[in-house]
Amino acid sequence: MPSRIFVTGLGFISGLGNNVQENLDSLLDLRSFIGPVRHIDTSLKHELAVSEVSLTNDELMRDAGLSAKSAYSRNALLGIIAAKEAFLHARLDKHTGLNTGLISGTTVGGMDECEKYYQDFLTNDSKNRFIETYDCADSTEKIADHLGLKGFITTISTACSSAANAIGFASRMMRAGKLDCAVAGGTESLTRFHLNGFNALKILDKLPCRPFDATRNGINLGEGAAYLVLETEETNQKTGNPVLCELVGYGNACEAFHQTASSPDGAGAYLAMKKALDMSGETPDAIDYINAHGTGTDNNDLSEGRAIEKLFTGKIPYVSSTKPFTGHMTSAAGSAEAIISILGLQQGIIWPNMNFLTPMPELKFQPAGEIIRGVDIKLVMSNSFGFGGNDSTLIFKKHGIH
């Protein structure tokens, strides 16, 4: 019998706040901080609406207690702040002797520094210390060093499903008996590189994004980091940590349709949700809430919406995309939305799909338009889909129910 996987720690930094509590407060107050770019020197500054973490790199360094002697990308700084919060939440600093892994998802890595200094990298030695912050593994290594994690660490890059896959892989490592517990999630800072990339794809909205709305017109990019602490049931007996919820389902599929677009019928999204549901042993009607990938693009929301309709043939659960709150946190979106889903599960709250006004004519269901309180939520599903058709779904269950 493979071990059960419990969530015992959360850490979260985004445009909504610098820790889990601040994020929760903003969600409860229905506040979004989507607006013009402030921290990056880009010519798109006033053209795009984004969600940025309010702190500057210097402020992040100060809050993390880091010395300016070492080079840190914003990606690593965000990752350190969120992973440390989760680590301390689960009191992993006190529980020594555990075989703890760190599995992190990211895609742009240290591109924020690289794009500033690329010419220097090529032509002089003045910024050499930032060369080593470029690759995706750098933020993971820095987080591990900061937390004193000396066991297994790795980095996953499956574009916008990276963090969901990090959580999924961590749970499989634990079920295979290779780890007692894990810090798993993802980090991604905004960069000129991917702001311009998404802009060239013409899928960014200049207005606040409107997922699942007939007038939707694209993505607002966001940034931040989010990490969960996962423990096996046996480890949890040792730590005695309060169980926040249980990870009961994980599905990974490749749509194999197009490098960036989703298929009109949502075959990949359907497969990912179906696999996660099969693993959880639950029936579709047991799912109370779906935190949709819901980017606000024409393509994703139609594809995902149809996949939801195909899988949930009876009653469709509450559905919302929380990207109007956080922006699309790309590689960190999977773990950020996992945490938002878990917070809803704990508080009995269905998060609203903000900015929704006009139903999509192609879909039979509508997303939750308003915040709904006092709901008895047992099972939540969180979707994350990425370039390359890398689609993943996580399912969390309230602890202590059968």
Partner 1 sequence: MTNLNAIYINGLGNLSPQKTTDSSHFLDEVNRVQSNRLACIEPNYRDFISPDILRRMGRLIKMGVASSRICLADAGCVMPDAIITGTGLGCLEDTEKFLTTLIRNNEELLTPTSFIQSTHNTVSAQIALLLKCHNYNFTYVHRGWSFESALLDAMIQLRNGKASKVLAGGMDELTNGSFEISRRLGLWRMKPADTFELLKTTARGSIAGEGSAFFLLSSAQSDTTYAVLTGMNTFNRKASPVSLPRLLSDFLERSGTGPEEIDLAVCGLNGDTSSARPYKELTGSLNNAGIAAWKHLSGEYMTSSAFGLWMASMIMKKQQVPEAAVIRPPGAKTIKTILIYNHYLDLNHSFILIRKP
Does 38 bind partner 1 (CB under 8 A)? Our answer is no
Q: Which token pair is 62?
A: 């100060």
Tell me how far, at minimum, the Cβ of 43 lies from partner 1, in Å: 5
Region near partner 1 per CB under 8 A, out of 80-88, 150-158, 303-311, 394-402: 150-158
- Retrieve residue 115's tokens: 């794009």
Task: Give the closest residue to 376 by CA, choosing from 344, 402, 400.
Answer: 344
- 6-to-239, 261, 343 alpha-carbon distances in Å: 12, 34, 15
Question: Does residue 387 touch partner 1 according to CB under 8 A?
Answer: yes
Query: Which among 74-82, 131-139, 280-288, 363-371 is the span making contact with partner 1, rule CB under 8 A?
Result: 131-139
Q: Which of 23, 42, 189, 303 binds partner 1 (CB under 8 A)?
A: 42
Could you give the CA distance from residue 245 to residue 289 in angstroms, rounded to a whole number? 15
Give the interface segment with partner 1, choosing from 63-71, 152-160, 209-217, 372-380 (CB under 8 A).
152-160
252 binds partner 1 (CB under 8 A): yes
At 167, list the tokens: 């959580």
Just list the catalytic residues.
160, 293, 328
Question: What residues between 259 and 318 interact with partner 1 by CB under 8 A?
Answer: 259-260, 267-268, 271
**Which residue reads 């699942």 in tokens?**
212
Short-list 16, 34, 14, 353, CA closest to 207: 34
Choice from 77, 159, 311, 316 touching partner 1 (CB under 8 A):
159
Q: Residues touching partner 1: how many (CB under 8 A)?
A: 64
Give the nearer residue to partner 1 in terms of CB position, either 324 or 389. Answer: 389
CA distance 161 to 157: 8
**Would you say 265 and 307 are in contact if contact means Cβ atoms under 8 Å apart?**
yes
Options 41-49, 81-89, 223-231, 359-367: segment touching partner 1 (CB under 8 A): 41-49
Nearest distance in Å: CB 137, partner 1:
4
Q: What percent of the chain is helix, strand and coil (3-state, nearest 5)?
A: 35, 20, 45
Strands (E), 123-281: 153-156, 181-188, 224-232, 245-254
Residue ranges in contact with partner 1 by CB under 8 A:
2, 42-44, 106-107, 109, 111, 114-115, 118-119, 121-122, 125, 128, 131-132, 135-137, 140-141, 150, 152-159, 165, 169, 172-173, 175-176, 178, 192-194, 196-197, 199-201, 252-260, 267-268, 271, 386-390
